[in-house]
């Protein structure tokens, strides 16, 4: 079934009496608009204030689950008491959780070799650049022209196929990004379930995201939680949708009002 518009539906889970929320949020494309360069993404004072109010209410936990590193996402959000999941949840840092997946460094030698070769091949293409991470790397090509975007993707897949072992590393696709990461049994959905289990409280999980990597969390939390995609799409496991990133402030206000 296609998702329903969040503000036109009253999910019975939100009306089932007093229960604390665990709000899981993606960053790029959810809390902030997508920019040509990830370095240009900053949390607006309004959104930050709304998140702080929810976090300080004592009635909710907040986790930001991003493909960025934990350090990067923590620096950009910088709210006390919030949980940060970097590299799609491979690393998690928060008040009572400090976790790194035990297989996070698997395939590191392959990933570094592929990264060097791709960097050498696309180094002169304007608008393409590599973001190196602790456990992998991301190739950004949003700012490249149309012809170069096709060449960049071909080069990435060719070099990755020639050098990598599909049993050890995996390719992750996003909005004008390609990422090479260790192939482990972990994703944003498993990371969210892990945090819920670690905190051992009866939270109502609410997950909001906009990208392919958020689909695992939608599937993991659909039965017991509320899942919301930013942007309407028929090809999503989310139960609800917001029309766009510009509605996230209205959504946070709605959640805060439910806690009063």
Tell me which of 59 and 73 has the higher pLDDT.
73
Tens of pLDDT, residue by residue over 10-43, are 888 887 655 689 999 999 999 999 887 778 889 9
Domain locations in the chain as residue ranges: 4-9+18-101+186-258, 108-182
Whether 26 is catalytic is yes
Please give the pLDDT value at position 40: 85
Q: What is the pLDDT of residue 166?
A: 67
Cα separation, 4 vs 242, in Å, equals 9
The one catalytic residue in 11, 26, 75, 148 is: 26
User: 108-182 adopts what CATH topology?
Assistant: Alpha-Beta Plaits (3.30.70)
Coarse DSSP helix, strand, coil percentages of the chain, rounded to the nearest 5 percent? 40, 25, 40
Residue 2 clears pLDDT 80, i.e. is over it: yes
What is the pLDDT at residue 30? 97
pLDDT in tens, 43-57: 999 999 999 999 998
Mean pLDDT computed over every residue of the chain: 91
Query: 112-167: per-residue pLDDT in tens?
Result: 999 999 999 988 899 898 988 889 999 999 989 988 999 999 999 999 988 877 67
Given a contact cutoff of 8 angstroms between Cβ atoms, the answer to whether 216 and 93 are in contact is no
Q: In the chain, pLDDT over 90 holds for what percent of residues?
A: 67
pTM of the full structure:
0.90
Answer whether residue 178 shows pLDDT above 90: yes
Phi-psi region of 119 (alpha: psi -120 to 50; beta: other; left: phi over 0): alpha
| CATH tag for 4-9+18-101+186-258 (out of 1.10.1740.10, 1.10.260.40, 3.40.190.10, 3.40.50.1000) | 3.40.50.1000
Per residue in 86-110, pLDDT (tens digit) is 999 999 999 988 899 999 888 888 9
Closest C-alpha to 67, from 82, 46, 52, 89: 89
Residue 24, helix vs strand vs coil: strand
């Amino acid at each position: 079934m296609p998702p329903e518009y969040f503000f036109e539906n009253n999910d019975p889970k939100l009306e089932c009496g007093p229960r604390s929320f665990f709000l899981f949020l993606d960053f790029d494309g959810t809390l902030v608009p997508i920019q040509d360069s990830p370095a240009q993404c900053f949390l607006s004072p309004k959104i930050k204030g709304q998140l702080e109010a929810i976090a300080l209410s004592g009635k909710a936990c907040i986790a930001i689950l991003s493909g960025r590193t934990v350090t990067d996402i923590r620096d950009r959000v910088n709210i006390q008491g919030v949980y940060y999941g970097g590299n799609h949840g491979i690393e998690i840092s928060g008040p009572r959780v400090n976790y790194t997946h035990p297989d996070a460094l698997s395939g590191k030698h392959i990933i570094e070799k592929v990264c060097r070769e791709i960097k050498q091949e696309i180094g002169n293409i304007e608008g393409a650049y590599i973001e190196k991470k602790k456990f992998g790397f991301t190739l950004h090509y949003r700012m490249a022209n149309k012809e170069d975007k096709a060449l960049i993707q071909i080069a990435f897949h060719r070099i990755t196929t020639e050098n990598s072992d599909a049993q050890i590393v995996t390719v992750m696709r996003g909005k004008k990004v390609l990422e090479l990461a260790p192939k482990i049994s972990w994703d944003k959905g498993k990371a969210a379930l892990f945090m819920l289990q670690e905190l051992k409280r009866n939270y109502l999980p609410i997950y909001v995201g906009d990208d392919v990597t958020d689909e695992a969390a939608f599937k993991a939390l659909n039965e017991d939680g509320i899942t919301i995609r930013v942007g309407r799409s028929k090809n999503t496991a989310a139960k609800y949708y917001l029309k766009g990133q510009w509605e996230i402030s209205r959504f946070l206000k709605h959640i805060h009002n439910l806690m009063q």
